[in-house]
Amino acid sequence: MGRRTVAPTIEIRAGDIERALGAQISHLESAAILRGLGFAVVDTKGSLVVTAPSSRPDVRSGVAGRADVIEEIARLHSYLRLPRHTPTWPEPGASTLDSACDGRYRTSPSTSGRTSRGRRPWQRR
């Protein structure tokens, strides 16, 4: 026979949903969505205490469980209703911390006027 596991209890604090999704979804709507999925929801001062149903072994505990629950809220609220957001990362070819490195570039006669980077302290000679 299979082992019976204890359903995780996850606290969704005020602002967690907005920080994760970039949109404000009320606690009432979030609670209604989760109850519709079979989650047990207790609305406390500024947070929701959520217990996953036994039919949802995919919902984890802790921070990962918080992300699982917020994902369920986003899915049923509709991803199309959430604001579009383009992730940010360094532009290709842009200067990075390592390449900028405090102006440690040098021009030497051996490089025919080209700019080269000096050795780093951790590099062998």
pLDDT digits (tens, 9 = 90+) for 58-96: 999 999 999 999 999 999 999 888 888 776 776 676 665
Residue 104 lies in a domain: no
Look at the chain and count its residues. Answer: 125
Q: Does 34 map to a domain?
A: yes
All residues at 6 or more sequence positions from 53 whose CB lies less than 8 Å from its CB, including other chains: 7, 37, 38, 39, 40
**Closest alpha carbon to 7 in 48, 54, 49:** 54
Mean pLDDT of 20-48: 94
Does 39 reside within a domain?
yes
Domain that holds residue 29: 9-81
Residue 98 has pLDDT above 60, yes or no: no
Helix (H, G, I), strand (E, B) or coil at 62: helix
Mapped onto helix, strand or coil, the DSSP state of residue 92 is: coil
pTM passes above 0.85: no
Whether residue 33 lies inside any domain: the answer is yes
Cα-Cα-Cα-Cα dihedral sign, residues 29, 14, 19, 37: negative
